[in-house]
Amino acid sequence: MNKLRTGIPGLDDLLGGGIPAGSTTLLSGRSGSGKTIFGMQYLYNGASQHDEPGILVTLEARPNDLRAEALQFGWNLSDLEKSGKLTIIDAASSKAGLPTSEKFALKRGFDMEALAETIYNAIEETKAKRLVLDSISGLTLRFSEPSEVRRELYRISALLNELNITSLFIGEIDDSSTQSRAGVEQFIAQGLITLNLRENDGGLDRDLLIWKMRLTSHSMKKHPYVIDDKGIQVKKTQTKKKNS
């Protein structure tokens, strides 16, 4: 089976090689856990190392802020955009009532049909293989019933699966929920990874857990990860030696 390497140091081995082609993975975590960085790293590595064009759909942050954030890790998104390897779809500006000069953008307000159409057009034009939707909370907050959340996410996910796009749906969670906000998002995805921030000794520790991944065996352990000037790096779990 074809797998797409995330290129995030330490992660692909835990996934049995990478993320299965054509699947949707939900990436959940609290605010500040590194979800946006993870998403950009996945797209940057795909475009720069594997010649796999990517699409970043941003629902909350404006594209220029993301370009600036990526640069601090040495990821020049603008260069990739110029060569057609990366496309940013700006769904954040119109929601905030701000003008946008982005080529791919929702022009006024927000609606799911327009978003799906813009995504479809961008995929057709760029022959994208990877997509990140940051974040689905920006979509799901519009629906009051979990069943509506599930239906809308399923529609987008099914479209992406049909087009053989390997996508990450980023979801925010808080203390009270361990996997997703509405409690249904994980069911429409074939993969689920959570990024956790834990209080420890008066500070914060980060660890990552793979809950599921389609058609593959994967690590079932919590793995510590760090964010530094190269982005995210997953560390090996310390295994205790016998008799010690």
Ligand X SMILES: Nc1ncnc2c1ncn2[C@@H]1O[C@H](COP(=O)(O)OP(=O)(O)OP(=O)(O)O)[C@@H](O)[C@H]1O
Instruction: Taking the CA atoms of 46, 196, 227 and 15 in sequence, report the sign of the dihedral they define.
Output: negative
Q: Based on the shown chain and the rule CB under 6 A, indicate whether residue 41 belongs to the binding site for ligand X.
A: no
Number of chain positions touching ligand X (CB under 6 A): 13
Q: Which of residues 160-179 bind ligand X (CB under 6 A)?
A: 172
Give the x/- contact pattern for ligand X in 197-236, rule: CB under 6 A. Answer: ------------------------------xxx-------
The C-alpha atoms of residue 124 and residue 131 are separated, in whole angstroms, by 13
Phi and psi, residue 214, nearest 5°:
-65, 140
Question: Measured from the CB atom, is 36 or 118 closer to Mg ion?
Answer: 36
What the block records as the tokens of 54 is 């990517």
238 near ligand X (CB under 6 A): no
Report the nearest approach of ligand X to the CB of residue 227 (Å): 4
* Furthest-apart CA atoms within the chain: distance in Å: 65
Q: How far apart are CA 161 and CA 227, in angstroms?
A: 30
Question: For binding to Mg ion (CB under 5 A), which residues are involved?
Answer: 36
Of the pair 123, 179, the CB lying nearest ligand X is at 179
Please report how close the Cβ of residue 74 comes to Mg ion at its closest, in angstroms.
19
Site for ligand X in 72-91 (CB under 6 A): 72
Question: 17 or 224: whose CB is closer to ligand X?
Answer: 224
Q: Residue 74 or residue 84: which is nearer to ligand X going by CB?
A: 74
DSSP sequence for 45-102: HHHHHS---EEEEESSS-HHHHHHHHHTTT--HHHHHHTTSEEEEE-STTTTT-----
6 binds ligand X (CB under 6 A): no
